[in-house]
Chain A
Amino acid sequence: MDKTVLHGKAWVFGDDVDTDLIYHNKYLAETDPKEMPQYSFEYYPGKEHFAKEVKEGDFVVGGTNFGCGSSREHAVYCLKFAGVPVVLAESFARIYYRNAINNGYPVLFVNGLSQAIKDGKIADGDDLEVNLETGEITDVTNGNKFHGDAVADLEKDIMAAGGLVEYLKLQTGH
């Protein structure tokens, strides 16, 4: 199968999803990224079952300002190591964006997603097809289409290297 075209189920969240809802501060002392997925969205009202039920390949879908709040990188690891291949949101909070890029973890900026979520044009459990190369997103369940922009500039190079540490190693031979 072509790796750039992904299929999975949507887990849909709203605007301003903060890092405590993604990965609660109660578990900040955790240092092993692979232990982090078990706590994902535990404090998000109505999504407490996410960690148990999320399947590898499922997508996390959010509105504006996804990942606002704390600097904790746990909030990226807990989705990455749960097998969520990409986060789709209208916009990402600054630190969350950096943390994703720095880990080579793909995010797509999807125009109009916040309103589409409010209007039910993309909903929990919908089957999505996401083309990472063209940015084309299709909600297969209802036929709605969206367009997502991948990162550009330096961030694109960091992503291509697999993350910031890998990028610097390539640059400096550290």
Chain B
Amino acid sequence: MGKTMIEKSIRRAAGREVAIGERVWCNMDLSTARDFGGANCVLQFEEVTDNKGKVWDPDKVAFTFDLQAPSHSEKVSRNQKIIREFAKKQGIKKVFDIKWGIGQHVLLENGLVKPGDVILGTDSHMNLLGAVGAFATGVGNTDIVASWFKGTNWFRVPETMKITVNGDFKKGVCMRDFLTSLVGKLRADGMFFKAVEFYGETIEKASLANRITLCSMVTEMSGKIGLIMPNGEVLDWLVERAGDVVLDRVKELAADKDAVYSDELSFDVSDLEPMLSAPDAPDNVKKVREAAGAHVDQVHIGSCSNGRFEDISAAFEVLKAGNFEIAPHMRAIITPATREVMKKCAEAGFIQKFLEAGVVFTNPTCALCTAEHYGALPADDVGMSTTNRNFIGKVGKGSHTYLASPMTAMATAVRGVVTDPRDLLG
């Protein structure tokens, strides 16, 4: 019987055959923590080892700072210092401090992620690294601490769902819109504990940025991980960063033709329209047209879902179509995912134009995902963002948020009300 990608990845990490439903101890390739949760991991590790513990392999531990980078609270500053000092004491060199950007993206850009790698992190969207076929998952501090002992942790071998996507997006429509429609169809628990493999022409042709977007909200459907085996330009990009071993992994870990899936779904995106998640849940999905005209106070483009160069570039094109003017009342914020993305935006001349249009362009960090980030909303304000959750009050008590694509977000910034980007792009 054939095996799926996740079965092969767990088999590789466990060094033995595995069966669906089984609990398996896997060897870690990387065990990471952010400035959120990181200090909790460090303090817990020191406590349970009486300050004498050594992490199993300092080269396989990494820290990324993106909850507050740079920190703007004394508590987070203290937490970041706790991490820096622990890394120094343990000989951990992979500390991506405040200048770098969002953790998963930084690890990816630095060649630390390969297909089949088992990666833990204190970020529930760690699993977006499935966009290059890695088995990454978000966990709490105890899982991280436990993995630092011997470089292992336990997993349940999940069932796999197969999703095939075909067709070309129409102008003004993008992968985020497909993702939103998928969340609307499967709802908050539609992928319960499962892995998902994405196939089809639309996926094969998709850029890395678009693959990241698609895999970034598997968590919002309660999935374990969304996996895409690298091909084409994405494969070339990954080999350049992470080395030729990537090619071996692709061969070894691609799903068998006769792999067994728990569910198989097919979609065609040819007639898809711009979609959004209305307040106050990601699966409260509507067409942008259905919400058009609703007042919005603030727009935020960025995050681990849609903070890459292609995303900002798409927003730029919409701003251009709107004559580089945003609505007078609008507070518009763009936060690139990483320093590399920000440099590309500068080289392309985007930043100058955004600033002239009155858009706030920030340093690379997480976007408005918590009330502690730039642009927290006051009660009764309505935001639109390209982040991945909009539960009530998430970015400010009493506030509400629409989730949408970078194009829809920028069209909304231009008009000041929820706007279908096709109204500007023609």
Give the B-binding residues of A (Cβ under 8 A): 15-16, 18, 20-21, 24-26, 28-31, 43, 45, 64-65, 68-73, 76, 91, 93-95, 98-99, 102-103, 153-155, 163-165, 168-169, 172, 174
| Contact count A vs B, C-beta below 8 Å | 122
On chain B, which size bracket covers the interface? 35 or more
Give A45 Cβ to nearest chain B Cβ, in Å.
7
Q: Determine whether B142 belongs to the interface, using a CB cutoff of 8 Å to chain A.
A: yes
Q: How far is the CA of A98 from the CA of B73 in the complex (A)?
A: 30
Question: Residues of A contacting B141 with CB < 8 Å?
Answer: 73
Q: Is the CB of A20 within 8 A of B391?
A: yes
Q: Is the CB of A99 within 8 A of B142?
A: yes
Smallest CB-CB separation from B193: which chain A residue?
Answer: A94
Q: How far is the CA of A103 from the CA of B219 in the complex (A)?
A: 22
Q: Is the CB of A70 within 8 A of B142?
A: no
Q: How far is the CA of A126 from the CA of B143 in the complex (A)?
A: 35
Q: Is the CB of B140 within 8 A of A26?
A: no
Q: Is the CB of B222 within 8 A of A65?
A: yes
Of B58-66, B92-100, B146-154, which stretch is located at the interface? B146-154
Question: Residues of A contacting B23 with CB < 8 Å?
Answer: 153-155
In the complex, per-residue mask of B144-166: 1 if CB is within 8 Å of any chain A CB, else 0: 01100110001000000000000
Question: Residues of B contacting A18 with CB < 8 Å?
Answer: 389, 391
Of B37-45, B234-242, B250-258, B308-316, which stretch is located at the interface? B37-45
Q: How far is the CA of A70 from the CA of B138 in the complex (A)?
A: 8
Q: Is the CB of A69 within 8 A of B389?
A: yes
Q: How far is the CA of A163 from the CA of B141 in the complex (A)?
A: 12
Q: Is the CB of B370 within 8 A of A73?
A: no
Q: How far is the CA of A76 from the CA of B141 in the complex (A)?
A: 11
Q: How far is the CA of A45 from the CA of B399 in the complex (A)?
A: 12
- 14 other A-B residue contacts (CB within 8 Å) besides A25-B394, A29-B36, A172-B149: A16-B188, A18-B389, A25-B372, A29-B73, A30-B75, A65-B222, A71-B138, A73-B142, A76-B140, A94-B193, A99-B143, A103-B142, A154-B23, A164-B142
22 CB contacts below 8 A, A to B, read: A16-B189, A21-B392, A31-B39, A31-B43, A31-B79, A31-B82, A43-B394, A65-B189, A68-B188, A71-B126, A73-B37, A73-B142, A95-B139, A98-B140, A99-B139, A99-B140, A103-B142, A154-B154, A164-B143, A164-B146, A165-B44, A165-B145
In the complex, per-residue mask of B385-426: 1 if CB is within 8 Å of any chain A CB, else 0: 000010111100100000000000000000000000000000
Q: Is the CB of A71 within 8 A of B124?
A: yes
Q: Is the CB of A28 within 8 A of B393?
A: no
Question: Residues of A contacting B49 with CB < 8 Å?
Answer: 174
Q: How far is the CA of A164 from the CA of B79 in the complex (A)?
A: 24
Q: Determine whether B123 belongs to the interface, using a CB cutoff of 8 Å to chain A.
A: yes
Give B195 Cβ to nearest chain A Cβ, in Å.
11
Q: Is the CB of A94 within 8 A of B150?
A: no
Give the A-binding residues of B (Cβ under 8 A): 23, 36-37, 39-40, 43-44, 48-49, 67, 73, 75-76, 79, 82, 121-124, 126, 138-143, 145-146, 149-150, 154, 188-189, 192-193, 219-220, 222, 224, 281, 369-372, 389, 391-394, 397
Smallest CB-CB separation from B126: which chain A residue?
Answer: A71
Q: How far is the CA of A102 from the CA of B40 in the complex (A)?
A: 15
Question: Residues of B contacting A164 with CB < 8 Å?
Answer: 142-143, 146
Known: A76-B140, A99-B140. A16 touches B145 (CB 8 A): no
Residue among B43, B82, B141 with the most chain A CB within 10 A? B141
Give B397 Cβ to nearest chain A Cβ, in Å.
6
Question: Residues of B contacting A168 with CB < 8 Å?
Answer: 146, 149-150
Q: How far is the CA of A52 from the CA of B313 in the complex (A)?
A: 48
Identify which of B224, B391, B397 contacts A69 (C-beta below 8 A). Answer: B391
Identify which of A21, A25, A68, A76 contacts B371 (C-beta below 8 A). Answer: A25
Give B272 Cβ to nearest chain A Cβ, in Å.
25
Question: Residues of A contacting B122 with CB < 8 Å?
Answer: 71
Question: Residues of B contacting A102 with CB < 8 Å?
Answer: 140, 142-143, 146
Question: Residues of A contacting B371 with CB < 8 Å?
Answer: 24-26
Question: Residues of B contacting A29 with CB < 8 Å?
Answer: 36, 73, 75-76, 79, 372
Smallest CB-CB separation from B47: which chain A residue?
Answer: A165
Known: A95-B139, A99-B142. A73 touches B189 (CB 8 A): no
Give B257 Cβ to nearest chain A Cβ, in Å.
29
Q: Is the CB of B370 within 8 A of A71?
A: no
Identify which of B73, B123, B139, B189 contacts A91 (C-beta below 8 A). Answer: B189
Q: How far is the CA of A81 from the CA of B75 in the complex (A)?
A: 21
Question: Residues of A contacting B394 with CB < 8 Å?
Answer: 20, 25, 43
Give A150 Cβ to nearest chain B Cβ, in Å.
16
Question: Residues of A contacting B121 with CB < 8 Å?
Answer: 71
Q: How far is the CA of A93 from the CA of B188 in the complex (A)?
A: 10
Give A77 Cβ to nearest chain B Cβ, in Å.
9
Q: How far is the CA of A136 from the CA of B415 in the complex (A)?
A: 57
